Amino acid sequence: MPEDIIDLIRESVIQGRVTKDDEGLDEDMVGQPGMSELIEEALISGVDAQDIINQGLTAAMKIVGKRFEAEEYYIPDMLASAEAVGVAMEILEPELTRSGVKPKGKIIIATVKGDLHDIGKNIVSILLRGAGYIVKDLGNDIETKDIVKAVKKEKPEFLGLSALLTSTMVNMEDTIKALTESGLRDKVKIVIGGAPVSEEYAESIGADGYGADGFQAVAVVEALNSGTTGNK
Amino acid sequence: MPREGILVNNPVERLSSEQVRQIHKASMEILKDPGLLCFNKRAAEIFQSNGAGVASISGSDIPCWHVKIPEKLVADALDSAPKTVKLGARNPDNALVMKGNEARVYYITGSETNTWLDVDFSTYANKSDPTKEIKVPEFLPRRGTVADLCDSAHVCEHLETVDGYIRTVNIQDKDITEDNKDVNKFFACLNNTTKHVMSGLTSLKQLDNVVKMAELIAGSQDKLKENPIISFITCLVKSPLQFVDDTTETFMEICQRGLPVVVSSAPQAGTTAPMKEAGIIAQINAEVLAGITLGQLVNKGTPVLYGSVPVRARMDTLGDSYSAVETSQYNIDCVQMARFYKIPNYSTSGVCDTKIPGQQSSIERLFSDIVVTLSGPQYLHCAFGLLDGNSVFCLLQAVLDDTHFQRVKFFLKSPLINEQELTEIKKQIKDVVATPQKMFINYIRQVMRTGEISPPYPFESDDDSDNVFSLAYERLQELLAKPVEHIDPDTTARIFQDIPGLLPRLNVYQEGR
């Protein structure tokens, strides 16, 4: 029954389980189908992708959000749920494309050249996927020219740049300059983050937004996506 | 089941085994020569009839005897003194079971202070920018009352890390006299906490009333023996090496009744004891052993605690410096000596020199609380809320102290490392390394809910400001608003009927409602 499987998908988000091997929050969940298995099964059963998103994923994330506000859930729980949603969206993407459903937006994300620190960038990736964006994660220590090349090829609406070091944060500015020189700057909104950077720094190098943490990064992207101006 | 306390797996020791033996030998020699001055006739007679060398000192205005205690007498006392002491509680789950050879630490409040510190908050504006305001705590000292003692016991009932309660404030109400202080003091404590209650006695005449009250609460004389909800602390030996008349009498009476009692000595290095570590430890050890010996001679097998409150003198005033690093060294040495004798130890930490809560008080108390806890005393009088030596008590400070004891307790949890754990962890590492993001976040989730992760500091501000005091004050108000389990109405009625001198306003079912 479609309702049953959507219930299970919703529960899988709440439990933050990607595959059947994941523990989730409650006991004895290992072995029960996780998000990957449930979405595949739902599609085979002919459940509408839009119903999966609206009644399953989005509804579940609202519950997770409420639990977070009530301090029943913590950031790792939010991340686990977001990761489960992200995985669901990846599996659903071809189906959505076939149905003519436009995704919320595409984001390229990278830790800039010279910087190997990627915890923050990875967290932002998970949260953005969980929020329904298609995220292409280039990884860390990414050459400026490779970021420019990816923007040119993928045509994303957003570019996320991350750095942890004061010595590498300058490469964010170089990247923005390189995008400008390539004529791509106006085609992509750029959001930066990382311990040494700030809203003022983002403004000074010509970025469109700054996320102090993963949640703020998503909020800024959502704001830019809805036509408002990032941190403003 | 008794309270769990904290089991210190590898207690810190300052003294080598050889040094412990050397201190023991020196103490034995001190007990023989010079021995102790004894201002209590009955105690002198007891020592004499048991083979100690006792000689009356002539020419003294106050009757006094010279007591030289042979090693055999001490050895017999150490043999008969219980190696496990139970301190009961109104709620049996709050009982404390202390084994002299086990480094299980219980955190206890106290001591009795004359001054109670109220807290108020004033708002100050920046002179150059009046829109910028800060709230600053102001501490207002006043004389302590029985109502304060009730509030203190009430809050300590709810402070998670407080294992037992020693009265924190001297009750100085106008209607409190020497004749009714003890019964009101004990009742105020017992009626507001279900944890163990320990106190000193103001008047020996009140001992039977206090014991009768405890028997009514425990259910009977025998039940009080099984579950001693009260115990006593006596400083029968004044340093250096003097049995004081009245407290020695009180001590012997308590021992006769078989209730637990702390044999406490509080020498000050530099004035009433030698300045050097070897000296003060040899002396305090001799003083405590003399008290334990007397207690066992009075009532063989009566439960006693090895009570050590050594302190170094301040060099500027010659007052007590509880915050001196040496004070913690002395305390740790005494913990080791008590463990050598397998007698449960009453030790001291957390007493600070400063007069108000703040950075100095935090640093002073936290230092000694950590290091003395690590040495593994069984009954650690760690001075929740105490300031200015033993003079001032502040409930706000007690709430702050509870948070740092939570951290110390967490730190001392035994490490969970075994083959099963390592097998699971190796699988976890292998699984995570194979994922694109290589993060262990998913594995945090269940661990967070099992209490295996230490909580953040509870009084952290959301912004950059330091609001520790105001947040702790909010917590204090919450604790005061939480109900406590008072003594039941029937028992309360019996107590007020049978025990003279109780203030009617302490009866929560009648005037004190």
Closest in A16, A25, A122 to B439, CB measured: A122
Is the model's pLDDT at A232 over the cut of 60? no
Whether B366 is covered by a domain: the verdict is: no
Cβ B221 vs Cβ B263: under 8 Å: no
Q: Do A76 and B449 touch (CB under 8 A)?
A: no
SS3 B144: coil
The H or E element containing residue B449 is helix B441-449
Q: Is A2 a residue whose pLDDT tops 60?
A: no
Rounded to an integer, the average pLDDT of B45-68 is 94
Closest partner residue to B446 (CB to CB) among A25, A79, A83 is A25
Q: How far apart are CA B352 and CA B57, in angstroms?
A: 40
Count CB atoms within 10 A of the CB of residue A91. 17
Three-state DSSP state, A180:
helix
What digits encode the pLDDT tens for the residues A191-223? 999 989 999 999 999 999 999 988 899 999 999
Share above pLDDT 90 across residues of chain B, in percent, rounded to a whole number: 90
Same fold, A2-98 and A106-225: no
Domain A106-225 has CATH 3.40.50.280: yes
pTM score above 0.90: no
Q: CB contact, 8 Å: B449 with chain A? A: yes
Shortest Cα distance from B488 to chain A (angstroms)? 37
pLDDT digits (tens, 9 = 90+) for B190-225: 999 999 999 999 999 999 999 999 999 999 999 999
Neighbours of B116 (CB within 10 A): 25
Cα distances (angstroms) measured from residue B478 to each of B252, B472, B500: 42, 10, 34
Domain edges within chain A:
2-98, 106-225
CB-based contact A76 B446, cutoff 8 Å: no
* Residue B480 falls inside a structural domain: no
Contact between chains at B445 and A74 (C-beta distance less than 8 A): yes
Question: What values do phi and psi take at B97, rounded to 5?
Answer: -115, 115
Residues B94-140: pLDDT tens digits? Answer: 999 999 999 999 999 988 999 999 999 999 999 999 999 888 999 99
Counting one residue from A and one from B, how many pairs have CB atoms under 8 Å apart? 34
Distances (CA, A) of B127 to B131, B135, B204, B256, B467: 9, 15, 59, 67, 21
In A, minimum Cα distance to B448 occurs at A74
First to last CA, chain A: 46
State the smallest CA–CA distance between residue B270 and chain A in angstroms. 53
Residue-level length of chain B: 513
Q: In what order do the strands lie in the sheet with B386-387?
A: B133-143, B115-125, B392-393, B386-387
Residue B434 lies in a domain: yes
Band (pLDDT 50/70/90 cuts) for residue B167 is very high
Residue in chain B nearest A124 by alpha carbon: B437
Q: Is residue B496 part of a domain?
A: no
Assigned domain for B445 exists: yes
ipTM of the complex: 0.75
**Domain presence at residue B471:** no
What is the distance in angstroms between the Cα of B124 and the nearest Cα belonging to chain A?
A: 31
Chain B residues within an 8 Å CB radius of A76: 441-442, 444-445, 448
pLDDT in tens, B265-324: 999 999 999 999 999 999 999 999 999 999 999 999 999 999 999 999 999 989 899 999
Task: Give dist(CA A132, CA B99) in Å, integer.
Answer: 60
Q: Is the pLDDT of residue A3 over 70?
A: no
Domain membership flag for residue B360: no
Chain B residues touching residue A81 (CB < 8 angstroms): none
pLDDT at A230: 57
Secondary element (H or E) of residue B125: strand B115-125
Q: Could you list the residue range(s) of the whole structural domain that residue B433 is in?
A: 421-449
Q: What is the mean pLDDT of chain B?
A: 95
Q: What is the pLDDT of residue B380?
A: 98
Taking residue B314's Cβ as centre, other Cβ atoms within 10 Å add up to: 17
Q: Domain A2-98: what homologous superfamily?
A: Methionine synthase domain (1.10.1240.10)
B443: in domain: yes
- Flag the least confident range among B280-284, B400-404, B439-443: B439-443
* Per-residue pLDDT tens digits for B461-512: 988 888 999 999 999 999 999 999 999 999 999 999 999 999 999 999 998 8
Selecting from B431, B437, B442 the residue whose C-beta is nearest the C-beta of A122 gives B437
- Which chain B residues touch A125 with a CB distance below 8 Å? 437
Per CB-CB distance under 8 Å, the chain B contacts of A83 are: 442
